[in-house]
Amino acid sequence: MIKPRPIILISIVCLLYSVQPAYFALYEFILENDEVFDDCPQIPGNHGIHDLFDITNVTLAYSEGHVTVSGWGPCAWEGVEPTDRIGSRTIKIPSRHLAANTNIDSCADFCETLFDPTSMTYQVWSRHIHESERKCINNNGHIYHHQPFEVDTVFQFPLNVEGRHKLVVKGTAYDLWNRPRPKEICFQIFVEFIKVK
């Protein structure tokens, strides 16, 4: 059993659900790092996911075809205020393809989408947070208790995604005057997709 890393799962599942056409092959994703998240070495003082959440009490249990996520953890983003707007970017880089295949998803106000039932983040992760605890990640110290949930590790894709991929997730807090806070959140996830059939 590996200690928590639900944000990686959210990022991977968002990547997987973003494509849904007609001809599919089954692929399973395998996390390259047992710790799930890597820091972003290009940002001085970066501690990856640990700058965003204390995930000490979140657990992931791997079994064939899915991962079960459970536990609780506080937001740990120091220097943010509940009134801050959170901008986020997810960069998907398929290692074996040309840079032209790199995909960047941006969200100008992550807090607006976090608990929106139509958002991918809600479908994959935040709907499993107890309703009474639904505050945005700009509330340093706020604790999220997760109802145990499963994330599938096998997905259908309409094109060949076999190989190693990198996901880079970045977040920036902006104050009421739209000035960026000094501490940017950044973590990376390396995953390998293996064709099942």
> How would residue 7 be classed by pLDDT, with cut points 50, 70 and 90?
low
64 domain residue, yes or no: yes
Q: Please determine, for residue 42, whether its predicted confidence score (pLDDT) is greater than 80.
A: yes
Neighbours of 22 (CB within 10 A): 5
Neighbours of 98 (CB within 10 A): 7
Using only C-alpha atoms, the chain has a radius of gyration, in whole angstroms, of: 16
Give the E-state strand segments of the chain in sequence order: 25-31, 37-39, 58-63, 66-74, 85-94, 103-107, 143-152, 154-157, 163-174, 185-195
CATH, residue 153: 2.70.220
The per-residue pLDDT for 20 is: 46
What is the domain extent for residue 72?
6-195
The per-residue pLDDT for 147 is: 93
Task: Round to whole Å and give the CA distance between 196 and 8.
Answer: 21
15 domain residue, yes or no: yes
Average pLDDT over residues 75-100: 82
**In angstroms, what CA-CA distances link 127 with 47, 93, 159?**
26, 27, 29
The per-residue pLDDT for 19 is: 47
51 domain residue, yes or no: yes
Domain count for the chain: 1
The per-residue pLDDT for 66 is: 82
Nearest residue to 185 (alpha-carbon basis) of 15, 50, 12, 5? 50
Please report, as a single letter, which amino acid is at residue 114.
L
Can you read off the two tokens belonging to residue 119? 């958002």
Query: What share of the chain has pLDDT > 70, as a percent?
Result: 83
Task: Round to whole Å and give the CA distance between 26 and 183.
Answer: 39
Task: Show Cβ contacts of residue 129 under 8 Å, excluding neighbours closer than 6 positions.
Answer: 144, 145, 146, 147
Task: Round to whole Å and give the CA distance between 134 and 147.
Answer: 13
Residue entry with tokens 């089954």: 26
1 domain residue, yes or no: no
